[in-house]
Amino acid sequence: MRISTNTIYQAGISKIGSLQAEQSRLQQQISSGKRILTPSDDPLAASRALEVSHAQSVNAMYASNRSIANTNLTGLDISLGSITELLQTTQVTLVGAAGTLSTEQKNTVAIQLTAQLETLIGLANTQDSAGNYMYAGYQNRTKPFTATATGATYNGDSNQQLLQVEGQRQLVVNAPGDSVFQAGGNDVFSAFSDIITILNNPASTPAAVQAGVATAISSIKTATNTVAAVWSSVGTRLNELDALNDVGSSRDLQYTEALSDLQDLDYAQALSDLTQKQTILEAAQKSFVTITGLSLFDFIR
Amino acid sequence: MGTSILNIGKSALAAAQVGISVTGHNIANASTPGYSRQEIVQRAAEAQDYGFGFLGQGTQVSQVKRVFNEFTVKQLNSAQTSSSATNAYAAQMRQIDNMLADSAAGLSPALQAFFSSVQGLSSNPGDAATRQSVISKAQSLVNRFQSLGSRLDELRQGVNSELTNSTRLVTTYASQIAQLNDSISKTIAANPNSLPNDLMDQRDLLVSEMNKLVKTEVYTQDDGGYNVFVGNGVPLVVGGKSYGLTTVCSTTDTSRLEVAYVGNTTEPLGDNSLPGGVIGGLLQFRSGSLDSIQNQLGQIATVFAQTFNTQHQLGFDPAGVAGGAFFNVPSPKIYGDVANSGGATLSVSISSATAITSSDYRVKYDGTNYNITRISDGSVQSFASLPQTVDGLTINGTMSSGDSFLVQPTRNGATLLSLAITDTSKIAASDATGGNGNNRNALLLIALQNTGTLNNSTTSYESAFGQLVSSVGIKTNELRVIGAAEEAMVAQTTATQQSESGVNLDEEATNLLRYQQAYQAAGKVMQIADTLFNTLLALGH
């Protein structure tokens, strides 16, 4: 079969061209580390990779929510610890005042209790790092407790703030003050103020004082139990966060592996392909030059 | 006798000279596009009867002919036109493929960042910085939708201008072919034996160039002229007369250029009547891929904005006021046919975003019924009156018999999406209870991200986008594979055609030697005739 001279050049050039294109593609893959350069390289893997990286970033989002929840709950944990300690001190103070007291002794106890009440109101008005009140429900920009003659009034609401900490799990990250300090009609602030009023009243009979102290002890005990219940539930939630974090990081690892399987380049294979293509290209170039260098005209003298 | 020998020598000398000049012409045009090698047809001159027998009178060149195989060229053209169409289609799809390739520039990261900012809002709903972050992430998401949409718009405009250029070229080729027809027929009429080979090569080259733009068929007439038809039998050249192609605005969608035939009148040609070539490939790309890709992206934008708005409007802002629209959702695009009666109007609104499809719709009134066609699958619903609700769209209007409208519910969904809220205090993160820490509605807004919303609440935003990416990838990949096969076919047919008609320089070198030797031998014959004559003259001395 006769071959036209154009065909010889055309065929040589187009083969060399396609080898160079393959090399440049390999080069792009090697420099990016990715097997899939455009969705058309592997449409199914490309869209699967989108899904996986979406899932991964959603997972990361929950992780950041958990970290916020952790900060909030740790704040509550510390604050509830201080409150428990304070209430226990108050109980000790009150038990010490159970006998018959002199006017001076009554005054001392009253002063101690007044100071403890102020500390308690301060603790109940604790703010988190963002400046939000921890015991205010949704009204977290409003100071939840204001001291009054008969204890303290609550300015917050009873709403629990939820955070999405995992795909199917929303966690309560606050503790509305009414459920901590005024649960079940037992207002801890009134208990303080009631006994302080009795102690400060010079007309109070020893029997009235003793009765008042007994009521206060019982009320503070109940309050301590309520706070302890809230505290323990905060602890439980912190534990749950730890568990969710473990699951979250193991998921993150899985997603990273899945993405790598879908997208990443097999370097050993790619580098070996590159060498192979280079050998072929060199051979093609050499043979092209040899073939096109042959011409009958060279022999016509 | 002596003169006859001299004449024989002379004829051989002349034939060898013709041979050398034809060979030279071949060598000179070895790389000329469309050139077919030429060869001489040589035969013995008519012999003379001398009584003792016929004595030859030398040689003569009866014809210089080009080596041309009509059948192979037809085959080549047919392979070439499909390959050009696929290449044009693939070149456009590759741009979309590349646009989606960069995962950082796709829709997903922007969508993700937006929902992360809403998560941030849920953890601290009263915080001004958190609220600002929601607004700015929403703005970047809107920008991302717009940039993806406008990139597709650019491709659409690119198709329009490429169609205009290509049809202009086709028209030019047609008129050049008609002129060549004229010259060729005249030459052949003057002397049917001597063919204008180089003109014929030029004409065949023009046909093959035209064929790269649109599928071209050629029928040779008795006078040697070509009748040229493009697409499905549209006559562009008839003898010495040529017609043209041009582009006109579609009667139903004025943003869309259609290819039209310029004969005695200008008639738009349907997308399907122009297969093959760059024009065919572009038309296929537009109706087969671009429309649906742009609609799908618009559908994601529309449904996202609408569903987010709906949830946002159920919430309350810090001042206790019910939330408003968060995004401005672009309304469906409606085109009235240019032939519509004066009073014809149509309005279309999205009544249920989750029910809308990515298809376009045609609304046509036949005097009795309003026929609403979903163009993607051709399904028709007929109603005796308007308004009606079809696929989440409420359609209302006044039409006379024969009026028709084209509705594109989502075509501009991505491009024209915008933010309705810029004031951070208008973000409705809480429920009716209120309170600075109230994040009830924020939590519900976040939930939208992983909820089935599109296509009758079956598909999330993210997976709808994933489906779009994979369908673009699959189509581009398919075109790449088909394109490679067709290119191989073209290369193979070209090699076959070239093996007949192409110039081989070694062969021409051989011919040069052959004709050179023939020339030298003829000279020798003449020299001997001369010697013979001189012998005769010397006798007198």
| Strand segments (E) across B163-272 | 216-220, 226-230, 234-238, 241-242, 244-249, 257-262, 266-268
Instruction: Identify which has the larger pLDDT, B112 or A101.
Output: B112
Q: CA B157, CA A121: separation in Å to the nearest integer? A: 70
* CB pairs A-B closer than 8 Å: 177
Per-residue pLDDT, A99: 80
Backbone phi and psi for residue B100, each to the nearest 5 degrees, phi listed first: -85, -10
When pLDDT is averaged across residues B74-85 and rounded to a whole number, the result is: 96
Look at B100 and A38 and tell me if their CB atoms are within 8 Å: yes
When pLDDT is averaged across residues B417-431 and rounded to a whole number, the result is: 95
Is the distance from CB of B439 to CB of B430 less than 8 angstroms? yes
Partners of A154 on chain B (C-beta within 8 Å) are none
When pLDDT is averaged across residues A227-233 and rounded to a whole number, the result is: 95
Question: Which among B69, B117, B123 is the top mutation candidate for probing chain A, defined by the most A β-carbons within 10 Å of its own β-carbon?
Answer: B123
Is the distance from CB of B446 to CB of B453 less than 8 angstroms? no
Structure tokens at B324: 């408003």
Look at B100 and A296 and tell me if their CB atoms are within 8 Å: no
Classified as helix, coil or strand, B258 is strand
pLDDT > 80? residue A301: no
Per-residue pLDDT, B3: 67
The residue of chain B with its CA nearest to that of A71 is: B123
pLDDT > 70? residue B1: no
Q: What is the pLDDT of residues A200-223, one digit of tens each?
A: 998 888 899 999 999 999 999 999
Look at B101 and A68 and tell me if their CB atoms are within 8 Å: no
CA distance B296 to chain A (A): 15
Q: CA A177, CA A189: separation in Å to the nearest integer? A: 12
Partners of B470 on chain A (C-beta within 8 Å) are 39, 43-44, 46-47
Per-residue pLDDT, B253: 83
When pLDDT is averaged across residues B53-61 and rounded to a whole number, the result is: 92
In one letter, which amino acid is B239?
A: G
Q: How far is Cα of residue B172 from the mean position of the Cα atoms in its chain?
A: 18
Domain A52-259 is classified in which CATH homologous superfamily?
f41 fragment of flagellin, N-terminal domain (1.20.1330.10)
pLDDT > 90? residue B4: no
**Checking phi first, is residue A164 left (phi over 0); if not, alpha (psi -120 to 50) or beta?**
beta
Q: CA B424, CA B441: separation in Å to the nearest integer? A: 15
Mean pLDDT value across chain B: 93
Percentage of chain A exceeding pLDDT 70:
100
When pLDDT is averaged across residues A262-285 and rounded to a whole number, the result is: 94
Partners of B35 on chain A (C-beta within 8 Å) are none
Q: Which residues pair with A300 in a beta bridge?
A: none
When pLDDT is averaged across residues B245-249 and rounded to a whole number, the result is: 94
Percentage of chain A exceeding pLDDT 90:
76
Look at B469 and A46 and tell me if their CB atoms are within 8 Å: yes
Per-residue pLDDT, B106: 81
Backbone phi and psi for residue B60, each to the nearest 5 degrees, phi listed first: -150, 150
Most confidently modeled range among B254-263, B301-310, B428-437? B301-310
Q: Residue B475 — very low, low, confident or very high, per pLDDT cuts 50/70/90?
A: very high
Q: What is the ipTM of this complex?
A: 0.84
The dihedral through the CA atoms of A27, A28, A32, A36 has a sign that is negative
Look at B437 and A4 and tell me if their CB atoms are within 8 Å: no
Count CB-CB contacts under 10 A for residue B78: 18
Q: CA B398, CA B192: separation in Å to the nearest integer? A: 68
Q: CA A90, CA A213: separation in Å to the nearest integer? A: 11
Domain ranges for chain A: 5-33+265-299, 52-259
List the single residue in A1, A40, A138 with the smallest CB-CB distance to B477.
A40
pLDDT > 70? residue B71: yes
Q: Residue B536 — very low, low, confident or very high, per pLDDT cuts 50/70/90?
A: confident
Is the distance from CB of B64 to CB of B540 less than 8 angstroms? no
Count CB-CB contacts under 10 A for residue A256: 13
pLDDT > 70? residue B86: yes
Alpha-helical runs (H) found in B191-269: 197-213
pLDDT > 70? residue B382: yes
Is the distance from CB of B284 to CB of B437 less than 8 angstroms? no
Look at A43 and B463 and tell me if their CB atoms are within 8 Å: no
Look at B498 and A3 and tell me if their CB atoms are within 8 Å: yes
Look at A47 and B31 and tell me if their CB atoms are within 8 Å: no
Structure tokens at B277: 């070539």
Instruction: Identify which has the larger pLDDT, B3 or B378.
Output: B378
CA distance B447 to chain A (A): 9
Per-residue pLDDT, B2: 54
Partners of A73 on chain B (C-beta within 8 Å) are none
Q: Residue B207 — very low, low, confident or very high, per pLDDT cuts 50/70/90?
A: very high
Structure tokens at A58: 């959603």
Look at B116 and A57 and tell me if their CB atoms are within 8 Å: yes
* Per-position b or e across A192-231, b if 16+ CB within 10 A of its CB: bbbbbebbeeeebeeeebbebbeebbebbbbbbebbeebb
Look at A139 and B115 and tell me if their CB atoms are within 8 Å: no
Per-residue pLDDT, A79: 95
Percentage of chain B exceeding pLDDT 70:
99
Q: Residue B270 — very low, low, confident or very high, per pLDDT cuts 50/70/90?
A: confident
Backbone phi and psi for residue A158, each to the nearest 5 degrees, phi listed first: -95, 15
Q: CA B475, CA B288: separation in Å to the nearest integer? A: 10
Q: What is the pLDDT of residues A140-155, one digit of tens each?
A: 999 999 999 899 999 9
Structure tokens at B378: 């051709």
When pLDDT is averaged across residues B455-464 and rounded to a whole number, the result is: 92
Residue B152's alpha-carbon distances to A99, B91, B288, B361, in angstroms, are: 88, 14, 14, 20
Place of tokens 């020998």: B5
Count CB-CB contacts under 10 A for residue B367: 9
Structure tokens at B420: 């309705």
- Asked if residue A202 has a cis previous peptide bond (ω within 30° of 0), the answer is no
